[in-house]
Amino acid sequence: MFNNLSEKLDKAFHILKGHGKITEVNVADTLKEVRRALLDADVNFKIAKDFTTRVKEKAMGQDVLTTLQPGQLLIKIVKDELTELMGGDATGINLSGNPTVILMSGLQGSGKTTFSGKLANFLKDKKNKKPLLVACDIYRPAAINQLHVVGDQIGVEVYSEPENKNAVDIAQNAIKHAKANGFNVVIVDTAGRLAVDEEMMTEIANVHKAITPNETLFVVDSMTGQDAVNTAKAFNDRLNFDGVILTKLDGDTRGGAAISIKSVVNKPIKFIGTGEKMDAIDVFYPDRMADRILGMGDVVSLVERAQAQYDEEEARKLQKKIAKNEFGFDDFLTQIQQVKKMGNMKDLVGMIPGAGKALKDIDVPDDAFKHIEAIIHSMTPAERSKPSIIDVKRKARIAKGSGRKVEEVNQLMKQFDQMSKMMKMMQGPGGKNLMKMMGG
Ligand code: GDP
């Protein structure tokens, strides 16, 4: 996420390295580079200009006796300003109303249907809600089917009326259905078009008027940069929406949309989408995002993700197995799956402070564990639970079965051996604390 921008900002701050204090000249040079970095990231020209003007004013007003180096000082000012630009504090979703009615708006392909599912899943799991998804796209039968597929995946009911061509009717009927059947959140997914057009705007404005949502959300693809900002403006003029959802932040997004959108429509970004799966949803925290843009990592989110995946029962079982020397390849596989559930590998690496830059040239494939998994899958259950029986002959068979080289099997065996030894050591006196620290 935002690799290019992070790198360029880092270069800009380098200009100040070795300078004892901030002067009009060295700050101007640095800020010129900061502005260029923002423009390259597709931030609107005026926003970028105002931004650097504000940073300059703050920097020049700083007490020269400050203990921070000029570079650090400027990074801090830039970070604070970026946070402010993206909305200051995080803004939660308004869950008032019974049922809470949430209307989704946005262009076709922005990720509206996917996000409707993610939000339903989030509210069900994290807020103990009983959501109902509503398919209000009266033009594309495929869109209705897509929502049903999403609903099935997360175990949430989907309300649709494939024969009805009146979106207002469907939305109103869905709310009645929700009230009669104990649903406390209704998420209405509407029809999108490829571009803003009058007919679509009128239709969604009519639905909006008829159901008076507690929360109207605008979904936008962050890959579209300044276009995202223009579309947001068009929708906001008609719907006066409550918040923005930025999707596809897992891709090679340049960052322009995330940085500019709040100041153009003056509405907070509430959530971000970071993948196609149903759990790839994160609450948007402006300060954490600023940290990531500046390549400072996002440890808080990383720890939160680890905690969300952490299963106490599983951890206890694992500890018992290690103590009894029963840790096998099946457990190894479970561990890998736990890590994978935390999200896409590149994304995770980006959250480690400093790692984004250090590892930028190293390709972190999304399927980093694919080969390891293939090898383990080629083992028999007996081999998995008692790896010591794997001899040369068995290794050759496993390699053949998984389509990998024997050396790779050897390497995995070695890694497994080291890991088992380390785990065993941690069980000893003094090791318990270490395990606790690691979440075990
Ligand atoms: P809609 O037309 O607005 O309902 O858009 P969809 O929900 O059908 O999404 C369009 C495409 O974008 C689909 O292929 C989704 O899988 C994909 N998509 C949606 N959100 C994300 C995201 O956060 N990250 C990535 N990588 N893909 C996404």
Q: Can you list the domains of the chain with their CATH numbers?
A: 3-85 (1.20.120.140), 100-294 (3.40.50.300), 304-437 (1.10.260.30)
Ligand 1: does its nearest atom lie under 6 Å from the Cβ of 278? Answer: no
Q: Tell how strand 269-273 and strand 281-283 pair up.
A: antiparallel
Ligand 1: does its nearest atom lie under 6 Å from the Cβ of 343? Answer: no
145 CA → ligand 1 middle, Å: 15
Pocket test for ligand 1, best of 112, 114, 246, 271 (most atoms within 8 A of CB): 114
SS3 content of the chain, % helix, strand, coil (to 5): 60, 10, 30
Nearest residue CA, atom 13 of ligand 1? 111
Q: Which residues pair with 247 in a beta bridge?
A: 221
Sheet with 243-247, edge to edge strand ranges: 158-159, 131-136, 185-190, 100-105, 215-221, 243-247, 269-273, 281-283
200 CA → ligand 1 middle, Å: 20
| Sequence ranges of the binding site for GTP | 106-113, 189-193, 247-250
Element (H, E) at 188: strand 185-190
Ligand 1 atom closest to the Cα of residue 110 is 3
ipTM over 0.95: yes
Measure the CA–CA gap between 54 and 56, rounded to whole angstroms: 5
Pocket test for ligand 1, best of 1, 136, 276, 347 (most atoms within 8 A of CB): 276
Ligand 1: does its nearest atom lie under 6 Å from the Cβ of 253? Answer: no
pLDDT tens for the chain, 440 residues long, are 677 788 888 888 888 777 777 777 888 888 998 999 889 888 888 999 999 999 998 888 765 545 566 777 788 888 899 999 999 888 889 999 999 999 999 999 999 999 999 999 999 999 999 999 999 988 888 889 999 999 999 999 999 999 999 999 999 999 999 999 999 999 999 987 777 788 888 999 999 999 999 999 999 998 888 888 899 999 999 999 999 999 998 877 778 888 899 989 999 999 999 999 999 999 999 988 888 888 766 666 666 666 676 667 777 777 777 777 788 888 888 877 777 777 766 666 666 655 555 555 556 666 668 888 999 999 999 999 999 999 999 999 999 999 999 999 999 998 888 877 777 666 555 444 444 444 43
Helix (H, G, I), strand (E, B) or coil at 426: helix
